[in-house]
Chain A
């Protein structure tokens, strides 16, 4: 149960990046999964260079995470600036194809630079408790869940309580109207990419610490699942991404636990198709109503 929640937390963190970018630009940023993958490798190399790998401490790990988040934020902003902004006025199909291109480019760069699978060091002590008979708690799950909760509350505050968050929601409704109000749309879009990418980097570090192995193609599967989670919850909706992430994580874990792990992905996508049949806009997606 708890590892279902922590898997869901990871999906939710990555899904937030998809949904926020979709919300502001109506673009499915296929390169987002690769940003997540690079976040994992950035964590690995940062841990190595700073010596956190040899003698891991909690502040050290936090700093590695922060560094990876900043690195990925910069990467996300660069991708937006170089690949998407020049096409802002082109058709959606062109931008979509560009997004797939950026994704393939980053994935293959990752293969060239990082090689194949790499092992990720143990950075935090791992223990298991059994506070109640039959209930196993793993420390990595607890860490994953608590970090995710902190990040989600931070994001919630940013989006709901700050002027930047209001601007982001305004841009997601209409870029032109937002610009008329004096909102610097390009900057808002850029920061949206930065925030989404930073969340993906955090997710990557959490996964790497749990699984102890990272690979250049982890963005393809992880990204796809998170994308499914975002669509499941209603793409463009932030609470939807969170709900979709947890739902998908729980589904997968229950299926692996009670049926067979080979059925996991089939069930995940089955759930997606099933829900979209009945709610095409996703669980929490809005179909907009305009009043004239």
Chain B
């Protein structure tokens, strides 16, 4: 894993995101190297989830770019001419017409196009579909794919990683324990066969022994070739599995260093590791 000849899988450059008047991400730049686990640490409200939602196309950035192996996923910023048009009126106009009129710029990719390009996500709080069975959840993870044989192969692969899910295939996902739901959320994201897997706080609210198992599987998925961007509050564990680490604070990247270095950084230890670890 030498850093020099590493290809960049996901390159985020100077990203700005607003929630109404709130400047949630302030010029965030971040690179995820192919084949590695990169971790993004930060406290609650630092903007970690906002970043992942923006990568997945659920928020649109006001400026900056997100590139997957060089391909830009974000659109052009809206032109000045479009600023005076109320958004509800704008949404009535067919997009092509609005573009010809110069009211909107080139649009960013829609969430389903982003999944199809190779970025999938296990969202914060797991968000499995509780009223669907485990099998149906996994089938939905492969929604953008049509290669039946490949989907079947990936299904048996994730069930090999998490035998617990195999036992519960036809059970409603809402009846699973928290740890099993987290496994399902990651497995579901894996069903898209992502090039880059986004994980939003997989340790949230789970017992330490279960978290340890989940992190072991994350490492295994990574060893088998999936690039991972791991967002965590639990810096202790995240730094153990990751190669590179970023620290996000109130919407800004404060630190970027090899994970091994941050493990020994007293400031990080005080801020995120807590005295007990």
Chain A residues close to B by CB (< 8 Å)? 82, 85-87, 90, 163, 166-167, 169-170, 173-174, 176-185, 286, 288-292
* Contacting pair B92 A86 (CB below 8 A): yes
Number of B residues, CB within 8 Å of A: 37
Contact of A291 among B89, B115, B181 (CB under 8 A): B181
A-side contacts of B132, CB under 8 Å: 166, 169-170, 173
A176 x B58 contact (CB < 8 A): yes
- Residues B110 and A184 in contact, CB atoms below 8 Å apart: yes
- Of B88, B121, B123, which is within 8 A of A86 by CB? B88
B111→A180 contact, CB < 8 A: yes
Contact of A177 among B112, B115, B129 (CB under 8 A): B129
Mostly, the A contact residues are helix
Residue of A nearest to B180 (CB): A291
**B residues adjacent to A (C-beta < 8 A):** 53, 56-58, 88-89, 91-92, 110-112, 114-116, 120-121, 123, 125, 127, 129-132, 136, 139-141, 143-144, 174, 176-178, 181, 188, 192, 205
B178–A182 CB distance below 8 A: no
A180's contact among B58, B91, B176, by CB below 8 Å, is which?
B58
Please give, as numbers and ranges, the residues of chain B lying within 8 Å of A167 by CB-CB distance.
Answer: 140, 143
- Minimum CB distance partner of B146 in chain A: A163
Cβ contacts A to B, 14 pairs, < 8 Å: A85-B91, A86-B92, A87-B88, A166-B139, A173-B132, A176-B123, A177-B123, A177-B129, A180-B56, A180-B115, A181-B115, A182-B114, A182-B115, A291-B176
Give every chain B residue within 8 A of A179 (Cβ-Cβ). Answer: 56-58, 111-112
Q: A173-B129, A176-B58, A177-B123 are in contact. Are A182 and B88 (CB under 8 A)?
A: no
CA distance A292 to B132 in the complex (A): 17
Q: Is the CB of B139 within 8 A of A163?
A: yes
Q: Which residues of A contact B114 (CB under 8 A)?
A: 182
Known contacts A169-B136, A179-B56; can you find 5 more A-B pairs with CB under 8 A? Answer: A169-B131, A180-B120, A182-B115, A183-B143, A291-B178
Q: Please indicate the chain B residues that have their CB under 8 angstroms from the CB of A86 in the complex.
A: 88-89, 91-92
In Å, the complex CA distance between A173 and B91 comes to 25
Minimum-distance CB pairs A-B, first 8: A182-B115, A182-B144, A179-B111, A86-B91, A177-B127, A182-B112, A86-B88, A182-B143
- Which interface residue of A82, A86, A180, A286 has the most chain B CB atoms within 10 A? A180
Contacts of B123 in A (CB 8 A): 176-177, 180
